[in-house]
Chains A and B, each alone.
Chain A
Amino acid sequence: MEVAERPATSDTGAVGLRSRLESRARFGSYWIVLPGLAWLLIFYIIPTLIMVRFSLLSSMPNRGLPVTYTFQHYVDAVSSSVYPKVFLKSAQFATMTTVALLLICFPVAYFLAKKTQHQKVLLILIMIPFWTSQVLRAFAWIILLSRTGMVNELLQSFNLTSEPIQLIYNWRAVTAALIYSYIPYMILPLYATLGKISDDLLEASADLGANKVQTLFTVTIPLALPGIVTGVALVLVASLTDVLAPTLLGGPYNTMISTVIFNIFTLGMNWNLGSAISVLVFAVLIVAAALTVAINRRVQYESET
């Protein structure tokens, strides 16, 4: 009961006071927003606009050729026989990763939120590996999955295979690495919303005769929807644009859209085309984020009424 009531009262109180503070403008003036705004303008907005401009130029300005504005690179990107396919494949990787992570992480997040008194320690424990660079984690998987690595040796000692099998440089390794990389992206939002569900609601559901499965599907999951939506969005977006998993653990046929961009810019190919593809991916990211916010607002509105 306490848990359910506290945010409501403190919120209205804080909002009332805050608006009073604001209306009197007692706390300095608008100039303190300028450093952050200026920084974003110089290092975020302008670079993004330059990228958009490059995507519309017929060639790079410093090549000495006459430069005109054109949509050709977008036409090339969309009508190409390669890039749309690669994008779909990336989306496929991202979807598999997301579904797997939702299934793996929900029970863990529920355990953290409802089943243990040591949630803080467990949470720190779960997070520790993810504070190390993703490069190192990819490296660790290469060692584990190599021909002489632990997984192959274990498979052989259990007689599951007679000779080492190729575990890396294929789509399975890419998906495994993606799943491993984004565990916290799923666990944290799930844990945050599950932790907010009052135990009273779950008890009430049990008192009214629902069994555990019924409570899970009619009370817990609907109330955890905002966390599920956030987790799904974070994992989808992050794995869609992941560079390291396909570059280090994928084979030549496991190209993702991020690898395409990576190669265009590292191998000095057509930067204008690369910019066009980047702008398209940028648009997908923004749309995904906007959709997430819209869906979450809807879900929260419905759960409140």
Chain B
Amino acid sequence: MALNETLRPRQVRWRSLNWSEIIYRLYIVTVLIFIFLPIVVTIRYAFGTARYFVWPPTGFTLDWFDKAFHNSLLIEAFQNSIVIALATTALATVLGTITAFALARIAFKGKNAMGVLVLLPIVTYGIVAAISLLIFFNSIDFERGLWTTIFGHTTFLFPFVVVVVGARLANFDVSLEEASMDLGARPVRTFFDITLPLITPAIIAGALFVFTLSFDDFILSFFLIGNTNTIPTYIFGLIRYFMTPEVNAAATMVIGISMILAILIGAFFGDIKEIY
């Protein structure tokens, strides 16, 4: 009996489930339903035949997707979102990785100050950040558009790469780099042969993180993009004045893209506990 218990701990635990455990599990399921309900309902309306949002959604049609694909404003917004997210990802990943490396491996004056400074954009991300950049571009007469949005996104998203890549750099065995240099490899060679392969999963996770956050950002894009739109700013405009299931069709596609990215991030992102 004792042997059995050590051999099959899981079964024993399930058999000993009491009421409080069952209620606990039900609670977790309830929270999961609360988390997913809005998303599922949004997607369901995208395939519904009704013009208005009446519960329950009925029928099945792809008309709203057809309308969305023929909406030139929506397509333009979608293209802008993709261009901005790709450019931001490229800039923020390079900038974030070298900054993380400098903070983890190089001795320089004012390093602690730099470590704090690079985290500030994460703390102040939001409306105040958007306002300060709006005023900045306005006062140097830099016309707002895709570039200003890319600059804004990069500023507030590359610190995330610093955090994710920095955590990886702090947690791997520095003696590998030591050994490489003791064997005569120059620092640049050591970086590309030893360090970079070891931190690549973190860099990919950081890049996916940046792409997703840039793709979903509303507040910076709203103030920095000028006369055109990204998907979130376009949908924001529609919600305030004109809602049809066409929005749901667009939303469904965006949710699909975000979900694929989310699963990829989950796969590449080691453990949140590493960052703490």
**A residues touching B (Cβ–Cβ < 8 Å)?**
10, 14, 17-18, 20-23, 25-30, 32-33, 35-37, 39-40, 43-44, 46-48, 50-51, 54, 61, 104, 107-108, 111, 115, 120, 123-129, 131-144, 146, 148-150, 152-153, 180, 183, 188-189, 191-193, 195-196, 226-227, 237-238, 241-244, 248, 258, 261-262, 265, 271, 274-275, 278, 281-282, 285-286, 288-289
Contacts and interface: CB of A to CB of B under 8 A. Distances in A.
A141 B131 CA distance: 27
A134 B215 CA distance: 11
20 contacts: A10-B173, A17-B174, A25-B106, A30-B102, A32-B106, A36-B98, A44-B121, A47-B135, A50-B132, A51-B135, A127-B266, A131-B261, A132-B259, A139-B235, A140-B38, A143-B45, A144-B37, A152-B55, A241-B127, A265-B223
Interface string B56-87: 10000000000000000000000000000000
B146 interface: no
B94 to A, nearest CB: 8
B175 A32 contact: no
Contact of B106 (A27, A50, A136, A262): A27
Given A108-B31, A192-B273, A135 B235 contact: yes
Contact of B188 (A18, A28, A142, A193): A28
Contacts of B272: 123, 188, 191-192
Given A17-B178, A21-B178, 11 more contacts: A32-B106, A35-B99, A44-B121, A124-B266, A135-B235, A144-B37, A193-B276, A241-B127, A286-B123, A286-B124, A289-B120
A135 B215 CA distance: 12
B231 interface: yes
Contacts of B231: 133
Nearest to B274: A192
A21 B190 CA distance: 13
Given A124-B263, A124-B266, A289 B239 contact: no
Contacts of B152: 43
Nearest to A271: B135
A47 B120 CA distance: 13
A14 B174 contact: yes
Contacts of A227: 276
Contact of B219 (A14, A61, A141, A243): A243
B84 to A, nearest CB: 13
Contacts of A138: 239
Nearest to B162: A36
Interface centre among B101, B102, B247 (most CB of A within 10 A): B102
Given A39-B154, A261-B128, A285-B123, A139 B239 contact: yes
Q: Which 5 residue pairs across A and B have the least CB separation, nearest first?
A: A140-B38, A36-B99, A47-B136, A124-B266, A30-B108
B275 A192 contact: yes
Contact of A125 (B32, B52, B107, B215): B32
Contacts of A148: 52-55
A interface: dominant SS: helix
Contacts of B105: 18, 21-22, 27
Interface centre among A40, A148, A288 (most CB of B within 10 A): A40
Contacts of A142: 239, 243
A278 B217 CA distance: 20
Contacts of B173: 10, 14
Given A33-B114, A36-B158, A281-B128, A132 B216 contact: yes
A216 B219 CA distance: 40
B123 A244 contact: no
A138 B96 CA distance: 31
A104 B30 CA distance: 11
Contacts of A188: 272
Interface string B114-149: 100110110110111001111110010000000000
A271 B134 CA distance: 11
B6 to A, nearest CB: 15
A285 B124 contact: yes
A82 to B, nearest CB: 17
B118 A36 contact: yes
Contacts of B263: 124, 128
A286 B120 CA distance: 8
Contact of A150 (B55, B174, B233): B55
B139 A28 contact: no
A184 B107 CA distance: 35
A191 B162 CA distance: 22
B169 to A, nearest CB: 10
Nearest to A23: B107
Given A21-B105, A26-B181, A148-B53, A282 B41 contact: no
B170 interface: yes
